[in-house]
């Protein structure tokens, strides 16, 4: 690595990354402390924190190599990286290992590899390559359909594992697509559909229709007061479509969602209270976070954590360890660091003179945001449990490796944004 490259690197971003992964190792160690014997150390590969340190070392070494690669390499081999990621996902149906009902891992000796994590890199490179190389216009149907196909293939393969939580993360690719010209109407339709879905699940059909009708009627009268050009028929059509959608929600919910997903959604929206069954994880997580107070109980002093009351605390519920042992201030530190990380990536992406590199960086920021929002939302009970880790902090070698590689690719792009080599 040349001295000139070292000076061009975004050291603010690197420091945020190092703070997050270090804090992650500390919390994984705390969450898995009970598994240690008296003569074992954190570098023992037979323990989870040892494996996490191993993947961190691999991530940093791989990142250093990435920083020395010609930036044109990533654009030229975007299609190949996408194809490899698709083949790895498809190969799971033959060679994959099934854990908790999902065939999502390859067993490589003492470690497991989750291709859905690495597929995010291949998909991000492919989307960036297609949108930039062919001067594609996302307002055109052809471009929109082809981009959707690139997203649909990995999503389908992940859903079939089945791992709907990991598939949901691919919604992050709307961030770069909106940045590059995708109509905001798609976002509006998505938000309205989600709202109707939740309303329809939370209330009886007749009550849901009444709520929807009142909202549409109220909106009509407000807009009518602002402009006399507002017509009635679009609102009538909106009401009819909403009724049809609401009527279909029950079928979709009961036939397309697995029972465990239905139970978790019902708990979040308040239709069920099950603090000893399916809602046990969320309940214990909220107890752990709430017991931390302002400054926390202290490192290795969390009673919920040490008592193993929170299942999967080192992965899906790592934020409960943060909340219990580091308190409100520790949780705030994590939120601030992730906010700075995402905003920093977006700020530097806007300085890119290459559309390919800008789209990729926006995809990285979007993926980090979705993971960050959903994971913390799961821990505090506002999002159903769908198995999404917190990047850089949760235990999981594949997730740590994938997000680290994305960060280092972005760093390479940023350091060489004025240098085409």
In the numeric block, which tokens belong to residue 174? Answer: 């709307």
The structural domains of the chain, with segments of one domain joined by +, span: 3-181+280-415, 188-268
Cα(253)–Cα(245) distance, integer angstroms: 12
Q: What is the pTM of this model?
A: 0.86
pLDDT string in tens for the chain (421-residue length): 566 778 889 999 999 999 999 999 999 988 887 666 555 566 666 678 888 999 999 999 999 999 999 888 998 999 999 999 999 999 998 888 887 777 888 888 777 888 999 999 999 999 999 998 766 777 788 888 888 999 999 999 998 887 877 888 898 998 999 888 888 888 788 788 878 877 877 777 788 888 888 888 888 788 777 777 777 877 888 888 888 888 787 777 776 666 666 666 666 555 555 556 566 777 888 888 888 889 989 888 888 777 777 777 888 889 999 999 999 999 999 999 999 999 999 999 999 888 999 999 999 999 999 999 999 988 888 777 777 899 999 998 899 999 999 999 999 999 887 665 4
Nearest to 49 by CA among 59, 39, 62, 34: 34
Reported as half-sphere exposure (CB side, CA atoms, 13 A), residue 104 has a value of 26
Which residue, among 416, 341, 296, 395, has the nearest Cα to 53 in the 3D structure?
A: 395
Name residues whose C-beta falls within 8 Å of residue 192's C-beta, 6 or more positions apart in sequence. none
């Amino acid at each position: 690595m040349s001295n000139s490259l070292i000076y061009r690197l975004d050291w603010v971003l690197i420091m945020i990354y190092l703070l997050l992964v270090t804090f992650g190792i500390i919390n994984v160690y705390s969450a898995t402390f009970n598994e240690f014997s008296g003569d074992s150390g954190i570098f023992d590969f037979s323990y989870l924190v040892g494996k996490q340190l191993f993947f961190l070392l691999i991530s940093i070494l791989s990142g250093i190599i990435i920083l020395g690669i010609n930036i044109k390499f990533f654009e030229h081999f975007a299609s190949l990286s996408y194809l490899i990621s698709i083949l790895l996902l498809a190969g799971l149906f033959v060679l994959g290992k099934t854990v908790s009902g999902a065939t999502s891992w390859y067993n490589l000796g003492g470690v497991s590899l989750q291709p859905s994590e690495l597929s995010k890199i291949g998909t991000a490179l492919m989307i960036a390559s297609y949108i930039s190389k062919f001067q594609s216009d996302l307002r055109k149907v052809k471009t929109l359909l082809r981009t959707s196909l690139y997203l649909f293939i990995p999503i389908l393969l992940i859903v079939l594992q089945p791992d709907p939580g990991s598939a949901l993360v691919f919604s992050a690719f709307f961030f770069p697509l909106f940045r590059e010209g995708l109509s905001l109407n798609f976002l509006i339709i998505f938000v309205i559909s989600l709202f109707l879905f939740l309303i329809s699940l939370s209330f009886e059909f007749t009550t849901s229709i009444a709520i929807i009708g009142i909202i549409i009627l109220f909106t009509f009268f407000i807009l009518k007061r602002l402009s006399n050009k507002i017509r009635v028929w679009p609102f009538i059509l909106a009401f009819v479509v909403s009724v049809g959608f609401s009527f279909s929600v029950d079928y979709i919910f009961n036939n397309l969602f697995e029972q465990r997903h239905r139970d978790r959604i019902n708990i979040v929206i308040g239709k069920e209270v099950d603090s000893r069954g399916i809602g046990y994880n969320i309940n214990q997580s909220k107890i752990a976070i709430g017991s931390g107070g302002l400054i926390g109980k202290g490192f290795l002093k969390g009673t919920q954590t040490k008592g193993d009351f929170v299942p999967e605390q080192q992965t899906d519920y790592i934020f409960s360890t943060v909340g219990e042992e580091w308190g409100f201030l520790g949780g705030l530190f994590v939120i601030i660091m992730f906010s700075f990380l995402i905003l920093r990536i977006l700020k530097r992406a806007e300085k890119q003179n290459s559309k390919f590199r800008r789209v990729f960086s926006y995809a990285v920021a979007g993926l980090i945001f979705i993971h960050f929002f959903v994971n913390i939302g799961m821990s505090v009970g506002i999002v159903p449990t769908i198995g999404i880790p917190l990047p850089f902090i949760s235990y999981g070698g594949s997730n740590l490796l994938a997000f680290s590689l994305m960060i280092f690719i972005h760093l390479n792009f940023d350091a060489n944004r004025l240098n085409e080599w």
